[in-house]
C-alpha cells in the first residue's frame, strides 16, 4: 500500500470513528503485515497513465498503480474499480 492511500484510509476512518477512534485504528492498522511505500516517480507515472485512460479518482489510480507495479491485488469494496478489472487484479470486500 502506498502512503497516499494510507492517508485515504485515515481520513475515511476519521469520518466514521472520529479523530481519537481513527488514531487507535491506525495504530493497529500499521501493525498488519502490509508494506507501506512512498510513491516514487515510476508509481506516479503509472497512476497518471491510468488516470488519463479511466474515469476514476486520482487516489484510486495510485492504488491500482501500486498493485500493478508490485504484482499485487487491490483489496476494495469501491465499485469504481470495476472499470479496472481487465487491468489489475481486484479482490472484493
Q: Per DSSP, what are the bridge partners of residue 91?
A: 75
Read out DSSP for 21-69? HHHHHHHHHTTSS---B---HHHHHHHHHHHHHS-S-HHHHHHHHHHHH
* Architecture of the CATH domain 3-92: 3-Layer(aba) Sandwich (3.40)
Domain limits of the chain? 3-92
pLDDT at 76: 95
Q: How many CA atoms lie within 13 A of 12 on its CB side?
A: 8
pLDDT at 15: 98
For residue 31, name the pLDDT band (cuts at 50, 70, 90): very high
Model confidence, pTM:
0.91
pLDDT at 85: 95
For residue 69, name the pLDDT band (cuts at 50, 70, 90): very high
Amino acid at each position: 500500500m502506498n502512503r497516499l492511500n494510507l492517508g485515504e484510509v485515515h481520513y475515511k476512518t476519521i469520518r466514521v470513528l472520529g479523530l481519537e477512534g481513527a488514531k487507535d485504528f491506525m495504530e493497529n492498522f500499521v501493525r498488519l503485515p502490509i508494506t507501506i511505500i512512498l510513491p516514487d516517480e515510476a508509481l506516479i507515472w503509472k497512476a497518471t497513465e491510468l488516470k488519463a485512460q479511466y474515469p476514476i479518482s486520482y487516489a484510486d489510480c495510485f492504488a491500482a498503480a501500486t498493485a500493478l507495479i508490485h504484482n499485487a491485488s487491490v483489496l476494495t469494496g469501491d465499485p469504481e474499480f470495476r472499470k479496472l478489472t481487465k487491468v489489475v487484479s481486484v479482490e472484493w470486500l
